[in-house]
Every structure is written in C-alpha cells, then in structure tokens.
Amino acid sequence: MYRHGMTNLHNESDARIRDHAIDFAARRDREARRSAARRPKRIGDVVAQLITARGYGRCEADERLVAAWAAAAGASLAKASRVGKLRRGTLEVTVANSTAMQEFTFERERILAELARSMPEANIRGLKFRVGQVK
C-alpha cells in the first residue's frame, strides 16, 4: 500500500514536469515568432507581400490574358467577347450572342493554339463560352 501511494506521487510529479516542459516550449516558440516579427525585413519581400495582398499581380496577369485573347481571337471576334476567369485550365469567355458563340466554336482549336503559343505559363487547355452582356 505504501508503495502504491509513492507511485501515484511519482506519476503526478512526472505529469507536472511534463506540463511545465510543454508550457516552456510553447512560450519559447511564441517568443521566437515575436522576435522574428520585430526584425527588419528586406524591401523586396515587403513589396512582394504588398503586391500579393493587394492583388496587383493578378491585375497584370488579367491584362496580359485580355491582350492575348484579343490577338488570338482576332479584332472582329474579340469585340464580340469578354474574357472571364481561368479555372483549372479552362478559360471562361462571355460572347455577345449565339451567332458569335457559333463562330467561336468553329475557331476554338485555332484560338487555343494561339493562346498556348502566346501564354504557355497560363496552361489554357479549354474554352468555355456563354452568351451574356459583353460591355
């Protein structure tokens, strides 16, 4: 019986030591994060974070996509369409009417080839057309 009582005290002591060690490790990690936050940052990293946060990089990519679309579709077809979002390799395009949609359907392969040539990093594998308001 005496021995059993000592074991419980020993286990409780181990648990307290373990809890203190976990608390100390958490406190040390928290202080390391605070310390890193106070250190000076490189200006390039700050600008990159700002561009990402404000979405400026996305705007530039969108402008490049619109220009590539205008070149790939041609002047007359580009006027009857508006580029939408690029999702999972499929570029969504709104067209003015069903006649324009049919024309785009006929030209799909040529337009895809031209987009792949002018913007290979976009990895555009398909086009999805829908009739809607262009302007």
Is residue 87 predicted with pLDDT exceeding 70? Answer: yes
- Rounded CA-CA distance 103/82 in Å is 15
User: What would the mean pLDDT of 100-113 be, rounded to a whole number?
Assistant: 91
Q: What is the mean pLDDT of residues 53-79?
A: 77
* Residue 79: Cβ within 10 Å count: 14
Coil, strand or helix at 124: coil
What percentage of the chain reaches a pLDDT higher than 90?
A: 13
91 to each of 57, 61, 76, 120, how far by Cα in Å? Answer: 18, 13, 19, 13
pLDDT digits (tens, 9 = 90+) for 6-21: 555 566 767 777 777 7
Can you tell me the distance from the alpha carbon of 97 to that of 89, in angstroms, rounded to the nearest whole number?
24
In this predicted structure, the answer to whether residue 105 has a pLDDT above a threshold of 80 is yes
* pLDDT score at 60: 55
> Is the model's pTM score more than 0.75?
no
